[in-house]
Structure 1
Amino acid sequence: MVTLIDENNYASAMTDVVQPALAACATEGWMAPATHPGLTELAIPQDSHNGELRYVTYRYADFPQGNRDAEAPADAQGTVVIAHGFSEFYGRYDEIAYYFLAGGYNVAILEDRGHGYSPRDLGDFDRVWIDDWRRYIVDLKKFCEVVARPMAPTAALCMYGHSMGGGIAVALTEQYPSTLDALVLSAPMIDPILSVPEQVAPAALDALCVGRGGEAPAPGQKPFPAWSEDLVTPGLSMARGKWLYDVRAEDGHYQNFEATNGWVREMVRLSKSIRRDSAVGRITTPILLIQSGNDVQVSLQAQDEFVMHVTQDGGEASLIRLDGAPHEQGSLPNELLGQVIGESLDFFDYYSSPAEWESADKFGA
């Protein structure tokens, strides 16, 4: 079992232990966005890396021995792709990537369009916009194929998807069922909680997106704020919340904070697509859904129904509920974060290791 860092000395542990270990095995890269029929070719934004998406990979072979779990394998037993949430970036997952590496996995993280140093189609870096939700899915599929899978071609390709990244991951498993070997969904956005009823949301959002209204901040959105302890949701670790805020405050590329009307519209469309019975029935990837009991951003009922539908259609899906946990699972206190990491690694290990009868020496081979 991977040991979590001490919350009481969180900043020093991140600076002195986690980040040096990650730096020893990290590689930054750039990937041309995927193309797909029906998707408009977008202009290359000014000041972008020639319109390419940024990613970071971490190779287990280069991860320091002293930082590995005592029972970690000699060689990587698979690769974990982390699909980040709304307004996030690769560095937000430093700690989680560290634990997956310590447990024996390569890690790969793609910054979605409109996030981090990937292309921004709006001049205002504070806002998150996307023209078509399907762009997220085909970009992630390409990333899995050309970057993540080659890191360990004969081993398992797993994914950990949080919130928006969880919704994208579900769409990936529905549209391209053979991509992943195992998927952990962390508080996934199966259905976002909106301020208007679901029946009228599409029409209301279409009205807001008329002209260039899709680029405007959605109702209630505010720009990146000054620090306040009130920014850390009750139930989260203050040490983790403050660390993440400081990382974002140091770089304008990490300060996107406002959802645009266009982004919200596309997330509603994504949600409607992934909840269709015909789409859920295509899932063959084993899924573990880790639900936050106090989540006010995504529907728990939709998550329950999704898992039920997958299993009723013959798929493999299970759900674990973290009572008292708010949405942002990566910033939970150790007691709950330890459950997230432990359950995730156990799940990945199960689908990364051959069954006993598949062992090469089982029958004296």
Structure 2
Amino acid sequence: MSQISQFNQEKNIKGMLPDKITSFWQQGLFHSFSGVNKVNIHYAQFIQQQEQLPTIVIVSGRGESYLKYQELTFDLYQQGYNIFILDHRGQGLSGRLLANLHKGYVAKFQHYVDDLHYFIENIVTHHCPAKPYLLAHSMGAAIATRFMQDSPKAIAAAVISSPMLGFYSGLLPTSIAYTLIAAKLTLNNLISKTPWYFFGQKNYSAVTFSENKLTHSTKRYQIFIDLYKKNNVIQLGGVTTHWLAQSIAAQKNIFANMAQLKTPILLLQAGRDSVVCQQAQNDFCQQLHKLQPQSCPKGVPSRIDGALHELFFEIDDYRNSALSQTINWFKQHKTAAAIS
């Protein structure tokens, strides 16, 4: 049986996830730990009964909760991996940082990285001592990349999907966009101690499928919308100017410290992504491959033409490709995973 035939398919999603996925999810362990500044960080883990199987740590994107990752967790578990996933501070089930629970905010981007470091060092490797793999999406990919720079020997191999290595600013030149962010942040800090939303950002409001920039899959998108409607505690609105400034600084740090990336990295690029900057992904791969030829084969991202931002929530053709490439990449580096 091929790998693709073992992944859940859209035809099995009939208004909700299949019973086999929801039943599997209920068998997980759900817990929390105290992150930086004692913020409560929630996580989920799914450990195989058979010992010494490889482990994947999923690092999700902005505004997401691990509750959204049930289908992906199921598929990866079925492929023989232990799975760990956490909700970042300020979103999902983890502790919020502002009085307005909808505002996307983090005091320092490094706090995301430090939370992930604690999670892997004290929880993941406590249960599964061998080096884990990382599968990281969007903002989570930026967090994971900064973590791998801080801890070059901690991870066996990584796949970063639609990584947030730069922002897509549309028709506005990046330099002007960054100037606007800096100016608004300065004004915010002068007038108020409360972080403001950036222009056009607001509290959570469900986006119709026709307006969404994340996926072509009507079924997977509806599951996502229903989940956030049912669990309003995980809803998150737009980003604050402070969050943008911290994220831009983190992106600059990633490029400034490329030489510290020793982990083999595969970058999956969504061909029709309009959420993050594809040119930044291209630049990242070109520079990283020169330093570490085992990363970004041929010096370019692995591009999935036609796909939107969320590759693991896309229609089957795009999602199957992303999943197959991820699993094949990890299998290529299984020797590294066996070294604790």
Q: Verify same fold: TM over 0.5.
A: yes
State the Cα distance separating 1:243 from its structure 2 match.
0.3
Count of residue pairs brought into register by the alignment: 326
Once the two structures are superposed, the pairs formed by residues 26-65 of structure 1 within 5 Å of their partners are 26-34=28-36, 41=37, 51-61=39-49
Query: Structure 1 counterpart of 2:237, which letter?
Result: F
**What residue in structure 1 maps to residue 64 of structure 2?**
88
1:317 match: secondary structure = coil
**What residue in structure 2 maps to residue 256 of structure 1?**
236
CA gap 1:107/1:152 in 2 versus in 1, 3 angstroms: same
Q: What's the TM-score once normalised by structure 2's chain length?
A: 0.89
Residue 286 (str. 1) matches residue 259 (str. 2): no
Summarize deviations over 1:39-68 as a string: whole Å, max 9, x none.
xx4xx6xxxxxx32111111122xxxxxxx
Alignment partner for residue 237 of structure 1, among 204, 212, 217? 217
In 1, Cα distance between the equivalents of 2:232 and 2:187? 27
2:13 match: secondary structure = helix
- RMSD value over aligned CA atoms? 2.2
Query: Structure 1 counterpart of 2:53, which letter?
Result: Q
Query: Structure 2 counterpart of 1:209, which letter?
Result: N
Compare 11-20 and 158-167 and name the one that shifted more. 11-20
**What residue in structure 1 maps to residue 186 of structure 2?**
207
Asked if 2 retains the 8 angstrom alpha-carbon contact of 1:77 and 1:156, the reply is no
Summarize deviations over 1:183-237 as a string: whole Å, max 9, x none.
1000000111236544351533432532437622211123322563324438520
Asked if 2 retains the 8 angstrom alpha-carbon contact of 1:193 and 1:299, the reply is yes
Summarize deviations over 1:261-294 as a string: whole Å, max 9, x none.
1111111111111111xx1011100000000111
Alignment partner for residue 12 of structure 2, among 9, 14, 27? 9
| Structure with larger Rg | 1
Asked if 1 retains the 8 angstrom alpha-carbon contact of 2:215 and 2:313, the reply is no
1:339 match: secondary structure = helix
Alignment partner for residue 279 of structure 2, among 274, 286, 301? 301
**What residue in structure 1 maps to residue 101 of structure 2?**
125
Say which structure is richer in helix: 2
Residue 108 (str. 1) matches residue 88 (str. 2): no
Compare 244-253 and 193-202 and name the one that shifted more. 193-202
Residue 22 (str. 1) matches residue 10 (str. 2): no
State the Cα distance separating 1:96 from its structure 2 match.
1.0
Asked if 1 retains the 8 angstrom alpha-carbon contact of 2:269 and 2:302, the reply is yes
Summarize deviations over 1:312-336 as a string: whole Å, max 9, x none.
1135212210001111212210011
Sequence identity (%): 24
**What residue in structure 1 maps to residue 252 of structure 2?**
272
Summarize deviations over 1:333-362 as a string: whole Å, max 9, x none.
00110011111111112212479xx9xxxx
Asked if 1 retains the 8 angstrom alpha-carbon contact of 2:270 and 2:305, the reply is yes
2:269 match: secondary structure = strand
Asked if 1 retains the 8 angstrom alpha-carbon contact of 2:16 and 2:223, the reply is no
Compare 236-245 and 169-178 and name the one that shifted more. 169-178
Compare 189-198 and 76-85 and name the one that shifted more. 189-198
In 2, Cα distance between the equivalents of 1:233 and 1:121? 27
Asked if 1 retains the 8 angstrom alpha-carbon contact of 2:158 and 2:266, the reply is yes
CA gap 1:344/1:113 in 2 versus in 1, 3 angstroms: same
**What residue in structure 1 maps to residue 148 of structure 2?**
173
CA gap 1:320/1:198 in 2 versus in 1, 3 angstroms: same
Alignment partner for residue 341 of structure 1, among 309, 323, 326? 323
Asked if 2 retains the 8 angstrom alpha-carbon contact of 1:87 and 1:257, the reply is yes
In 1, Cα distance between the equivalents of 2:211 and 2:136? 23
Asked if 2 retains the 8 angstrom alpha-carbon contact of 1:129 and 1:260, the reply is yes
* Larger RCO (CA within 8 A; separation ≥ 6): 2
Query: Structure 1 counterpart of 2:145, which letter?
Result: V
Structure 2's unaligned 5+ residue stretches are: none
In 1, Cα distance between the equivalents of 2:75 and 2:335? 18
Structure 1's unaligned 5+ residue stretches are: 35-40, 45-50, 62-73, 359-365
Asked if 2 retains the 8 angstrom alpha-carbon contact of 1:213 and 1:261, the reply is no
CA gap 1:349/1:77 in 2 versus in 1, 3 angstroms: farther
1:209 match: secondary structure = helix
CA gap 1:235/1:354 in 2 versus in 1, 3 angstroms: closer
CA gap 1:326/1:12 in 2 versus in 1, 3 angstroms: closer
In 1, Cα distance between the equivalents of 2:302 and 2:275? 18
In 1, Cα distance between the equivalents of 2:99 and 2:232? 12
Asked if 1 retains the 8 angstrom alpha-carbon contact of 2:15 and 2:223, the reply is no
**What residue in structure 2 maps to residue 147 of structure 1?**
123
State the Cα distance separating 1:114 from its structure 2 match.
0.3
Asked if 2 retains the 8 angstrom alpha-carbon contact of 1:115 and 1:253, the reply is no
In 2, Cα distance between the equivalents of 1:222 and 1:331? 24
Compare 330-339 and 215-224 and name the one that shifted more. 215-224
In 1, Cα distance between the equivalents of 2:113 and 2:212? 30
**What residue in structure 2 maps to residue 220 of structure 1?**
200
